[in-house]
């Protein structure tokens, strides 16, 4: 039996206005992304005038004025009382490895067909200087015999820097050994077949298998460790990511405080022509268009203002929480985004957006706001210890170890527990790797 009934049901539905979506989007943007967004917005909305002033900070003056307001650790940085910052002299000049390789090819006597292949091989090298394309594919690409390609690869191997054009790590090492006039078939076999044992300094096995004395194996391992496994890396042009400060920490009577940087760089205003047109035009369609654009522009201006206020509020809360770090050059305390959210009575998602890709300029340097958030461990006496403190302890332990008998992660774990840090071995391994230290077997100084 089918019957028609009228029923009422209650459902919850979250409606997010376009204005709120835009506001959240603006807050989440980094400074460079924000400037690009404003420039694009002004193209679609002529009512809003956007002026973005570039390079308005006198960095040299800023650092000179702020110098002395905080104690520096002279062991951490190249600090000199009489040093001046000459930023013009701090730019980096890069040599192009690929230009150099092409130039070397051009002065070597060879037929033009082979030269063409050599130039192609240079352009095919990856960022580390390795050739990853297969010989068969290259031969098919140029319609030549594989032997021609192998001859061209051999030509690339003769170029500087040594090891360039290698097809794997073993070949890279062998090329560099030969460049040092070390021609030993047994040594090359050792590199080809047992590179992992070389990395782990398994001297007994290697000397027995390849009929070297222990001293010879140790000498070869030291030579191999001195080679460059990525011969093109030092020539690589690093992709530079420009970071712009959103806030600046200044000191008044020795007390740190945050000032927004936005006023100095971004200027938003309503275009005077459209103001006058709205007042003088008799065309209702024109007036309607201008009013719509004015509403959109006003919304954008409000969102930018709110973004700046939120970042300043978050930054000031960070300074209050990490007061000892900013005031006395102390260590960072354990702090989470939830701590700042509670302090400001904001949702944690607002804090997350407010620190994403945002930077604070201090007289210690330019830091991403995320830098000041650290996890925590509880010491035996109940004190919260930041992960930075734990890493500092690991660094101190490794730096002070006997390099002939490096400490394992398990031993470091035990030493940390003796100092009151209850840290698991896997966490020690993780922090050691983040600090850039190799495992104990690879740190061994033979």
- pLDDT tens-digit series, residues 271-315: 899 888 989 988 999 899 999 999 999 999 999 999 999 999 999
Q: What is the pLDDT of residue 262?
A: 59
Ordered by start, the domain boundaries in the chain are: 97-235, 247-372, 377-442
Contact 249, 362 (CB under 8 A): yes
Looking at per-residue confidence, does 379 or 78 come out higher? 379
Please determine, for residue 376, whether its predicted confidence score (pLDDT) is greater than 70.
no
CATH class of 377-442: mainly alpha
In the predicted model, what is the mean pLDDT of residues 9-17? 45
On average, the pLDDT of the chain sits at 79
- pLDDT tens-digit series, residues 198-213: 888 888 888 888 888 8
Q: What is the pLDDT of residue 73?
A: 39
Please determine, for residue 88, whether its predicted confidence score (pLDDT) is greater than 90.
no
pLDDT band at residue 164 under the 50/70/90 scheme:
very high
């Amino acid at each position: 039996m089918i019957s028609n009934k009228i029923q009422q049901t209650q459902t919850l539905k979250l409606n997010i206005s376009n204005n709120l979506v835009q506001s959240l989007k603006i807050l989440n943007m980094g400074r460079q992304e924000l400037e690009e967004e404003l420039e694009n917005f002004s193209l679609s909305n002529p009512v809003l005038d956007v002026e973005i002033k570039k390079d308005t900070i006198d960095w040299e003056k800023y650092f000179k004025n702020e110098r002395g307001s905080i104690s520096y650790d002279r062991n951490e940085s190249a600090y000199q009382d009489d040093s001046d910052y000459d930023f013009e002299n701090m730019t980096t000049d890069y040599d192009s490895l690929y230009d150099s390789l092409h130039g070397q090819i051009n002065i070597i006597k060879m037929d033009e067909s082979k030269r063409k292949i050599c130039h192609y091989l240079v352009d095919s090298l990856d960022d580390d200087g390795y050739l990853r394309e297969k010989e068969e594919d290259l031969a098919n690409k140029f319609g030549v015999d594989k032997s021609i390609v192998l001859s061209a690869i051999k030509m690339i191997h003769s170029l500087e820097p040594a090891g360039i054009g290698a097809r794997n790590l073993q070949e890279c090492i062998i090329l560099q050994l030969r460049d040092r006039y070390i021609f030993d078939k047994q040594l090359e076999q050792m590199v080809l077949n047992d590179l992992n044992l070389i990395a782990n300094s398994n001297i007994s096995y290697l000397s027995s298998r390849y009929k070297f004395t222990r001293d010879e194996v140790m000498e070869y391992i030291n030579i191999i460790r001195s080679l460059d496994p990525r011969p093109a890396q030092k020539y690589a042009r690093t992709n530079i990511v420009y970071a712009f400060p959103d806030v600046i920490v200044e000191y008044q009577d020795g007390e740190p405080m945050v000032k927004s940087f936005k006023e100095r760089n971004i200027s938003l205003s309503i275009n005077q022509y459209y103001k006058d047109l709205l007042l003088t035009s008799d065309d209702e369609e024109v007036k309607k268009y201008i009013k719509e654009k004015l509403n959109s522009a006003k919304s954008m201006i409000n969102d930018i203002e709110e973004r700046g206020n939120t970042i300043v509020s978050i930054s000031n809360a960070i300074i209050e929480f990490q007061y000892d770090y900013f005031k006395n050059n102390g260590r960072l305390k354990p702090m989470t985004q939830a701590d700042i959210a509670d302090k400001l009575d904001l949702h944690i998602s607002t804090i997350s957006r407010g620190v994403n890709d945002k930077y604070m300029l201090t007289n210690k340097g330019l830091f991403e706001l995320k830098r000041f958030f650290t996890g925590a461990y509880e010491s035996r006496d109940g004190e919260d210890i930041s992960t930075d403190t734990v890493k500092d302890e690991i660094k101190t332990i490794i730096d002070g170890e006997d390099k002939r008998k490096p400490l394992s992660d398990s031993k470091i774990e035990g030493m940390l527990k003796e100092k009151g840090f209850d840290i698991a071995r896997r966490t020690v391994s993780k922090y050691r790797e983040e600090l850039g230290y190799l495992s104990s077997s690879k740190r061994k100084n033979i």
